[in-house]
Structure 1
Amino acid sequence: MTLSGNQKRKMKSASRLFAVQALYQMEQTGQTVDKVRVEFLDFRFGEAFEEYDMLEGDTALFSKTLEDAVNYQAPIDQMTDRALVAKWPLGRIDSTLRGLFRAAGAELLQSGTPAKVVISEYVAVADAFFPGGKERQFVNAVLDHMAREAKPEDF
């Protein structure tokens, strides 16, 4: 079966949402990246998330995002801290947002995905976790700052 461009985009979006969930789970439980990755690939992909059918997801993007978020966590966290207001270091923000910034940071630093696509995709992920909240603007502002640092050539 050949997938349309729209289906491929939905699969990538699903993978980004799952990557944030997986990073959150790792932080909360102390589980390893390998254990969480297997759990998500075996049991979570294709699961409905609230009213959204998240398809199967792009397993390669999911796995790479997780690996890169773990392997490059220190530089990603430092980049995120520079984007946050001094009174709100990364350790003080919601753990879901930490996972989101780590996943997005991994894509900004380690993928060829254009910065504006990364920002747009992760703002949509923030909407999924915090519908109607102020987090959308917060995530957009932080990711814009991170993207300008990681991929200045995109601006």
Structure 2
Amino acid sequence: MTTFDDLIKDDFEANEFDAFPAEGSITGDSRTEARLLALQAIFQHIFVNQPLDKVRDEFLKYYVKQHKADKKILTTILDDVASNQERYEELVADNLNEKWTYDRLGLVEKSLLISAVSELSATTAPTKVVINEYINISKGYFNPKEVGFINGILDNLAKKIRV
């Protein structure tokens, strides 16, 4: 029986992937990996309605090492969201214009914005760094117009959070 690996091995030689980040890492940067995992954990928490502390423990056990993610950043974001999610959702909702409501946002958008608001609120990472990181992450999920939408919301939120 032919396996999937057999089908693709002629098409892809191992050396074609040398430019990819370390195995398990998507970006090659531990802080960006932590932010991606935070987004994914918050998404799982909302989508499955699973307590965030359980999701956090699962991600710490199974994904931090595999993705070479910064454990401190991930833990800080997820613990902060666990304590402040409702307030962060309100902050995001208050920064949408009258054409958009919080309920109209997709789960990935909500998760990304909640994670970014948490990092802006709970860490001392430079504002530009936080915004740029989440904009770059959003480029992997959204089209340019949606990325601009996310950027506008993050800029407004940062001005209110980091006075």
Structure 1 gaps, min length 5: 1-8, 48-54
Residues 41-94 of structure 1, C-alpha deviation per residue, up to 9 Å, x if partnerless?
2222355xxxxxxx4100111011011112111221222112211221212100
**Residue 28 (structure 1) aligned with residue 36 (structure 2):** no
**Residue 144 (structure 1) aligned with residue 141 (structure 2):** no
Instruction: State TM-score, norm by structure 2.
Output: 0.77
Which structure is richer in relative contact order (CA contacts within 8 A, separation 6 or more)? Answer: 1
Structure 2 gaps, min length 5: 1-27
User: 111, 117, 134: which is aligned to 1:122?
Assistant: 134
Match of 1:50 in 2: none
Match of 1:4 in 2: none
User: 71, 76, 92: which is aligned to 1:64?
Assistant: 76
Amino acid at match of 1:128: G
Amino acid at match of 1:141: G
How many residues are treated as equivalent by the alignment?
A: 136
User: 90, 96, 99: which is aligned to 1:87?
Assistant: 99
Identity %: 30
Task: Give the distance between the partners of 2:29 and 2:85, measured in 1 at CA.
Answer: 26
- Which runs of structure 1 show a deviation greater than 6 angstroms over 4 or more consecutive aligned residues? none
Q: Give RMSD over aligned pairs.
A: 1.6
Secondary structure of the residue aligned to 1:72 is helix
**Counterpart contact for 2:53–2:82, Cα < 8 Å:** no
**Counterpart contact for 2:39–2:111, Cα < 8 Å:** yes
Secondary structure of the residue aligned to 2:68 is coil
Instruction: State TM-score, norm by structure 1.
Output: 0.81
Between 93-102 and 27-36, report the one with greater CA deviation. Answer: 27-36
Between 140-149 and 87-96, report the one with greater CA deviation. Answer: 87-96
